[in-house]
Amino acid sequence: MQNKLLSQIVYETTLPVIMAPMFLVSGPQLVIEGCKAGIIGSFPLLNARTGDILEEWMRQITNELEQARIQEPNQKIAPWAVNFIVHRSNKRYEVDLELIKKYKPPIVITSLGDPSQVVKIVHEYGGLVFSDVINLVHARKAAEKGTDGLILVSSGAGGHAGTYNPFAFISAVKEFWNGITILAGSISDGNDIVAAEALGADFVYMGTRFIAAEESLTSKDYQNMLIDSTIEDVIYTDAFSGVNANYLIPSIRKAGHDPDKLKKKAEMDFSKINQPGAKAWKDICSAGHGVHSIKKIQPVAEIVKELKQSYEKTLTHITAKHSQSSTLSEIKQE
């Protein structure tokens, strides 16, 4: 069943890319344009401030993608995904789970907790569940709970990231996992996608590159900060959500904090992240080490086109290099 669904997803995409769900960045238009461009678009359910708004978003995504498939029958329209925080502090857990049942997103990405209940519901309507993990303990637990895909969130990823080197992480996970594998962490262009596939990944998770998309929910100030930043402007800290994540140092300073004197948050709490009073969540901007690749604000379609060109150029270069090496080897043997 899983192999059949994976084959279908691969057929419906033009690149093996999942646009990562990003807090205060990913909304319905970003998801729709990503899917229409041929990559899997996703958004965090908690980006919609209420259950009613969330239902509007899910209805909009469903309807517009259905219309796109009717109007462009020969164009690949990728499936969409939602990110569901399964941590106990998520007060909208039951409401959001009911909307998942109703709108049946093809892929549900679980974070920060046990995916068991989500797996049961999503499998009933024929969808897939991917779980993001930052270490081997979490990866094994998610695998045991029946998840279909593991998202290996490695060092340098935007938002809640791990510390493992992606080469070592995917190698270790492959020792016990043969399901769908998605690699995350500083993936910004076509070269990175090819490299991830060479390591054994089925898809890559790409977020930071799309923060500067014209269709994102984020402010122009945030986007311009990305353009002006480099890898040296990213800090890894648990001071804001209680979970270690990568943030832009300029945004921390702008919010009135000293990045050299940040204190650990006492506990993980996702109960107020999209509420008006949650100022810290809105003022601190996340970004991964791939921030270096962002040079301008672009439409999603243009970003995906550049990724595809880079991807194909890299594959052509590698193929030619191997062909040349084989020819030289044959000559030497003669």
Decide if 224 is inside a domain: no
Helix axes 136-144, 166-173, angle to 10 degrees: 40
**What gap in Å lies between CA 178 and CA 170, rounded to an integer?**
11
Closest CA to 237 of 182, 161, 143, 153: 161
Share of the chain above pLDDT 70, in %: 90
The reported pLDDT for the residue numbered 177 is: 97
The reported pLDDT for the residue numbered 331 is: 56
23 backbone φψ class: left, alpha, beta (φ>0; ψ -120 to 50):
beta
Decide if 331 is inside a domain: no
Give me the numbers of helices (H) and strands (E) for the chain, helices first please: 13, 11
Residue 324 has pLDDT above 80, yes or no: no
Higher pLDDT among residues 95 and 11, named by residue: 95
pLDDT (tens digit, 9 = 90+) per residue, 244-282? 899 999 999 999 999 998 887 756 555 555 555 445 556
* Count of residues in the chain: 334
3-state DSSP assignment of residue 172: helix
Q: Which two tokens stand for residue 307?
A: 């990724």
pLDDT (tens digit, 9 = 90+) per residue, 162-177? 999 999 999 999 999 9
Mean pLDDT of 31-44: 98
Main-chain dihedrals φ then ψ at residue 140, nearest 5 degrees = -65, -40
Decide if 59 is inside a domain: yes
Q: Identify whether the C-beta of residue 82 lies closer than 8 Å to the C-beta of residue 54.
A: no
Structural domain tally of the chain? 1
Scored b (16 or more CB within 10 A) or e, 111-134 reads: bbbbbbebbebbeeeebbbbbbbb
Q: How crowded is residue 3: how many other Cβ atoms within 10 Å of its Cβ?
A: 9
**What gap in Å lies between CA 83 and CA 303, rounded to an integer?**
22
Domain that holds residue 50: 2-219+289-326
Mean pLDDT of 304-328: 85
Decide if 152 is inside a domain: yes
Element (H or E) spanning 81, and its range? Answer: strand 80-85
The reported pLDDT for the residue numbered 283 is: 80
pTM of the model: 0.90
Decide if 165 is inside a domain: yes
pLDDT (tens digit, 9 = 90+) per residue, 280-303? 556 889 999 999 889 999 999 999
pLDDT (tens digit, 9 = 90+) per residue, 170-198? 999 999 999 999 999 999 999 999 999 99
CA 72 to chain centre: 26
For 286-308, give the DSSP string.
B--GGGGG--S-B-HHHHHHHHH
The reported pLDDT for the residue numbered 11 is: 84
Mean pLDDT of 17-33: 96
Residues in Cβ contact with 264 at an 8 Å cutoff, skipping those fewer than 6 apart: 238, 239, 242
Residue 145 has pLDDT above 80, yes or no: yes
Residue 132 has pLDDT above 90, yes or no: yes
Catalogue the E-assigned strands of 134-271: 149-153, 159-160, 180-184, 203-206, 234-237, 245-248
Bridge partners, 80 (sequence order): 41
The reported pLDDT for the residue numbered 89 is: 82
Decide if 240 is inside a domain: no
Q: Identify whether the C-beta of residue 286 lies closer than 8 Å to the C-beta of residue 158.
A: yes
CATH code of the domain containing 127: 3.20.20.70
Q: Which amino acid is at 211?
A: I
> What is the SS3 string spanning 245-277?
EEEEHHHHHHCCCCCCCCCCCCCCCCCCCCCCC
Confidence label for 241 from pLDDT (cuts 50, 70 and 90):
confident
Residue 90 has pLDDT above 60, yes or no: yes
The reported pLDDT for the residue numbered 329 is: 57
Higher pLDDT among residues 319 and 45, named by residue: 45
The reported pLDDT for the residue numbered 149 is: 96
Mean pLDDT of 310-328: 81
